[in-house]
Homo-oligomer: A and B are copies of this chain.
Amino acid sequence: MATARRPGAYVCGIDAAMDVIGGKWKVLILWALNEKTCRFGELRRLLPGVTEKVLASHLREMEADGLVHRRVYDEVPPHVEYSLTALGISLNEALAPLGAWGREHVLGPQDTHHAVR
C-alpha cells in the first residue's frame, strides 16, 4: 500500500492518487521505469531538464510510497538500479486511460500516429 501523506485528508480515491503522482516528474519516472530498469544517470538522461536533487528526492518519495524498488550493488564505482514494484506497475496500468485521453484530447490527432508513448 502506498503511503498516504495526508492521512484522512482525502475526499476520494482520485485525489489520494494525485498526491502520490503529484511531483512534477513522477509520471515520467514511472513511464521510464515501466520500459526498463534504469540506473540513476540513465534516468537523468531520459528526463531532459530534471536536476539531480529533484530526481533523487522524487525517487526517495516513490520508494517510500512503495512504487519503486532501489537496488544497490556493492561495487566501485557505485551502481544503483531503480525498477518498478508490483504496485508501481499497477499504478502505471491505472494511468493508461489518462494517458490515452491526454494524447487524444490535449496533444491532438496529429500526434496519435506515433502514439507509442
By a beta-carbon cutoff of 8 Å, the part of chain A in contact with chain B is 1-4, 10-21, 27-28, 31, 87, 90-91, 93-108, 115, 117
Contact = CB atoms under 8 A, between A and B. Distances in A.
A99 B17 contact: yes
B13 A103 contact: yes
Contacts of A93: 97
Quick one: which of A15, A115, A117 has the most chain B CB within 10 A? A15
6 contacts: A13-B98, A17-B98, A18-B102, A94-B100, A95-B97, A97-B97
Nearest to A92: B14
Given A4-B107, A96-B97, A106-B10, A27 B18 contact: yes
Q: Is the interface of A mostly helix, strand, loop or mixed?
A: helix
Contacts of A96: 97
A103 B94 CA distance: 12
Contacts of A115: 13
Contacts of A19: 106
A63 to B, nearest CB: 15
